[in-house]
Structure 1
Amino acid sequence: MSSNLSGTAPDSRTNRAPATVVPPPVEPKWMAVMSLALGVFGLLTAEYLPASLLTPIAEDLGVSEALVGQAVTVTAGAAVVSGLLTASLTRRIDRRVVLLGFTVLMIVSNSLVALAPNMFVLLAMRILLGVALGGFWSMAAATAMRLVPAPLIPRAVSIIFSGIAVATIVAVPLGSYLGDLAGWRSVFWAATALGVVTLVLQLFALPRMTPQNAARLKTLWSVLIHPSFAIGIVGMLLVHVGHYALFTYIRPALETMVDVDTSTLAALLFAFGVANLVGTLAAGWLLQLSLRLTLALMPLLIGIAALGLALLPANQGMSATLVVVWGLAFGGVSVAWSNWATLTVPDKAESAGGIVVVGVQSGIAAGAGVGGATFGLGGVVAVFWIFGVVLIASALFITLSVKNPGRHG
């Protein structure tokens, strides 16, 4: 074991020296961490933009809004494939170069979408964005391990993933506003400019990072059959299915169960987004106290909030509090599970990150699907109490079954 970690002994089976395991830095590279957060923000903002620009894009390109909506679907599909394959396909390349390459793909995608003469070109460029998104996301937590000392990894990951929360808050409303003001193509040019700024910052901030423990396709299988990892992935899927079954129907839930008007609804959704950002940043501190506590506490709070919205008498003040609790709790979910994955199999962190990307995307799809079926059968109240119970049960499952990896917890 020790000879493998040293990186000095040759591998007799392959006649090739194994990848060197580089120890974490003594001093944190916070500017590099911030450059990754900006990259996540830019990628997620670009992913969400078509949702706010469906009508003007459809009118300009002469297609249906339903077809434009597929721009989000193809991005997510490409992200799943990229998340799984990035570690193995780029196993010999400096990780700095790989990350910069994904940022370049984002720039190319956004600029060519802005110039797209037809829907075929637009969808092709959205696939390119998905490749960048899935690959960048799968490497994020593993890269954090290379940029900061071990005790600061949870904080670094929370900062990187705060880009998701910020994109969730600003992408749709800002995209819609700018689209009305200057046209949908101008919005994608603005996203291109954001990508250029991100690339410049990353060029200056990211250090060289030689590949470690080069991954192959079979590495994905070895990660999946790791007993602790396999059990944890079940818990992660339960949490994401439960959350997205609820979140898909947050608007009709607030409109019917709480009876809010349009302006109040917008305020509550904005409050949810802000709380989500705060929860993402706070998760870094909570993770340093206990990883398993964080993993279990997040779905427990979301489940309680969902049951409260479904079963308590309608009250806007109470409902606003529950929505904020929900947003705070979900803000920590991606951070916690990404930390858990990399700490469970630290020697295969990038492959683990790719599996997490696939798990999250699968949870989104499954949650929306089963939530929709439940909504059709029993209405929005049934969705909220059933999946509130599912989330509380997932918290119990995590508490009893998911182990604390490494030193955290």
Structure 2
Amino acid sequence: MKSTEALTPSTADSGVPRWSPVIAVALSTFTVVSSEMMPVGLLTPMSKALSVSDGVTGLSLTITGVVAAAVSPFVPALIGLRDRKEVLVTFMVLLSVANALTAIAPNFLVLASSRILLGIAMGVVWGLAAGLGPRLVGGPRVALATTLIFSGVSIASVLGVPLGTLLAALIGWRATFWALALVGAVAAGVLVLTLPALPVHRRSRLDGTIGVLRNRGVAAGLAITALIVLGHFTGYTYVRPVLESDAGMSAGLIASCLLVYGLAGVAGNFTLGPLAGRYTKEAVTIAVAGVTMAVALLPFATAGTVTVLIVLVVWGASYGGVSVSTQTWVRTADPARTEASAALWAGVFNASIALGALAGGFVIDRAGNRAVLFSAALITAAGLVIAAVSRPRPTAPRTG
């Protein structure tokens, strides 16, 4: 089967890289991830305001992830020949609308509706942003561009979720989502001003996207992504209740702990991202091993703030490198079909977020906090096994 992708390079052709478009896409990923993950930091006040349990409120992540997962793999085929810049701007505006609707939600039904809209926007933005590095810069700079794009994920943990948690503690959780709506509008404006035109000249076909799965390296990378993200969100979605009840922490102290976690995530992103460009298997293995160890140790670390912080630093630094290293794995395995493989990767990533939040909610409501963390560790350990026995193997594109 011939590759169905025919993407026109933009700044990558100029010889002189322009980093402002890369930063603009990073701002978009920051906004998307902050919007998606904000209920983690606000789980308790949202549950009380909407008169539902923590587990039900955690379903807001499941809803968003399921919708995003359903949308992402089909993005290249659905948007056809439309300029990728125009698509990104349109769906960042939709993301702002979704956050505004969340801010005024009087009950869980309205919240769920807003999170569906958010999932659609997130699925499109992630499905395109994950593969934009090679289109915005060229040659050896691709690894750095990809790292910068995914730095939005880590910085969302540093600035987005902790600051949103702090803002909610001061003036309420609804103000946090109004702030996210504003940030989304700003991100859309920055994309308009800085992103070059990103045309395509050949329509992607659905069978071309599915055909990427025949590549064993891509399949292994997607399996690793699924397990590490599933395990992470099984535990991390409910980290606030764990820190509140098991460690006895206040809302302000939890916000500080999440800030430390996020700072470690940024460090992990910028450490493992460049490493993944040269040693992809090693970077992925380190990231998955670190998450597995941290999640398994947290139940034993809740006796003191210092031990909690140490575990969260390891967890944050390790998970901070997951997005960029697993996406690099998939891209390395099939460099001829970057947009299709990136769309599949985004779909798997978001489906795993959804299932993780769902699984964690089920476990925590029935078996408690320690059980949810031990379950998370078992899942990520399975991803570690696959990473240890597999490797990305670039293959030549099929010609027939």
Q: TM-score, structure 2 length as denominator? A: 0.81
Corresponding residue for 1:157?
A: 146
Q: Cα gap change, 1:101/1:325 in structure 2, threshold over 3 Å: closer, same or farther?
A: same
Any gaps of 5 or more consecutive residues in structure 2?
396-400
Is residue 274 from structure 1 mapped to residue 263 from structure 2 by the alignment? yes
Contact 1:111 / 1:189 at 8 angstroms: preserved in 2?
yes
Is residue 228 from structure 1 mapped to residue 211 from structure 2 by the alignment? no
Counterpart of 1:129 (choices 115, 118, 121) is 118
What residue identity is the alignment partner of 1:270?
L
Contact 1:292 / 1:398 at 8 angstroms: preserved in 2?
yes
Corresponding residue for 1:86?
A: 75
Q: Map 1:341-356; keep pairs closer than 5 Å.
A: 341-356=330-345
Q: Which string of whole-angstrom CA distances, capped at 9 and with x for unpartnered residues, describes residues 134-174 of structure 1?
A: 11111112111101113222221221122222223344443
Contact 1:85 / 1:354 at 8 angstroms: preserved in 2?
yes
What residue identity is the alignment partner of 1:331?
G
Contact 2:364 / 2:372 at 8 angstroms: preserved in 1?
yes
Deviation at 1:286, TM superposition (A): 1.6
Q: Which string of whole-angstrom CA distances, capped at 9 and with x for unpartnered residues, describes residues 320-363 of structure 1?
A: 32321111011000111122223322333222222222222332
- In 2, Cα distance between the equivalents of 1:168 and 1:351? 27
Aligned pair count reads 389
Is residue 103 from structure 1 mapped to residue 92 from structure 2 by the alignment? yes
Contact 2:104 / 2:174 at 8 angstroms: preserved in 1?
yes
Corresponding residue for 2:156?
A: 167
Contact 1:55 / 1:65 at 8 angstroms: preserved in 2?
no
For structure 1, which segment, 36-45 or 87-96, has the greater mean C-alpha deviation from structure 2 after superposition? 36-45
Deviation at 1:88, TM superposition (A): 0.6
Q: Map 1:248-397; keep pairs closer than 5 Å.
A: 248-251=237-240, 259=247, 261-262=249-250, 265-309=254-298, 317-370=306-359, 380-381=369-370, 384=373, 387-388=376-377, 390-397=379-386
For structure 1, which segment, 287-296 or 301-310, has the greater mean C-alpha deviation from structure 2 after superposition? 301-310
Q: Cα gap change, 1:36/1:313 in structure 2, threshold over 3 Å: closer, same or farther?
A: closer
Contact 2:154 / 2:266 at 8 angstroms: preserved in 1?
yes
Contact 1:276 / 1:329 at 8 angstroms: preserved in 2?
yes
Contact 1:53 / 1:176 at 8 angstroms: preserved in 2?
no
Corresponding residue for 1:209?
A: 198
Q: Cα gap change, 1:302/1:55 in structure 2, threshold over 3 Å: closer, same or farther?
A: closer
Deviation at 1:82, TM superposition (A): 2.1
Contact 2:243 / 2:249 at 8 angstroms: preserved in 1?
no
Q: Which string of whole-angstrom CA distances, capped at 9 and with x for unpartnered residues, describes residues 209-231 of structure 1?
A: 12165322222321122222122
- In 1, Cα distance between the equivalents of 2:373 and 2:174? 38
- In 1, Cα distance between the equivalents of 2:376 and 2:5? 46
Corresponding residue for 1:239?
A: 228
Deviation at 1:394, TM superposition (A): 2.9
Deviation at 1:56, TM superposition (A): 7.2
Corresponding residue for 1:9?
A: none
- Identify which of structures 1 and 2 has the higher relative contact order when contacts are C-alpha pairs closer than 8 Å and 6+ apart: 2
- In 1, Cα distance between the equivalents of 2:359 and 2:57? 24
Corresponding residue for 2:398?
A: none
What residue identity is the alignment partner of 2:207?
K
Is residue 75 from structure 1 mapped to residue 64 from structure 2 by the alignment? yes
Q: Cα gap change, 1:42/1:403 in structure 2, threshold over 3 Å: closer, same or farther?
A: closer
Q: TM-score, structure 1 length as denominator? A: 0.79
Contact 2:101 / 2:111 at 8 angstroms: preserved in 1?
yes
What residue identity is the alignment partner of 1:294?
A
- In 2, Cα distance between the equivalents of 1:270 and 1:94? 37
Q: Cα gap change, 1:37/1:302 in structure 2, threshold over 3 Å: closer, same or farther?
A: same
Q: Which string of whole-angstrom CA distances, capped at 9 and with x for unpartnered residues, describes residues 216-275 of structure 1?
A: 222232112222212222222222233233324545655787x55436555433321221
Deviation at 1:376, TM superposition (A): 7.5
- In 1, Cα distance between the equivalents of 2:390 and 2:189? 44
Contact 1:109 / 1:125 at 8 angstroms: preserved in 2?
yes
Any gaps of 5 or more consecutive residues in structure 1?
6-16
What residue identity is the alignment partner of 1:400?
V
Deviation at 1:201, TM superposition (A): 1.6
Contact 1:178 / 1:184 at 8 angstroms: preserved in 2?
yes
What residue identity is the alignment partner of 1:322?
V
Is residue 147 from structure 1 mapped to residue 136 from structure 2 by the alignment? yes
Q: Cα gap change, 1:54/1:265 in structure 2, threshold over 3 Å: closer, same or farther?
A: closer
The sequence identity of aligned pairs, in percent, is 30
- In 2, Cα distance between the equivalents of 1:374 and 1:183? 28
Q: Cα gap change, 1:356/1:212 in structure 2, threshold over 3 Å: closer, same or farther?
A: farther
Q: Cα gap change, 1:204/1:251 in structure 2, threshold over 3 Å: closer, same or farther?
A: closer
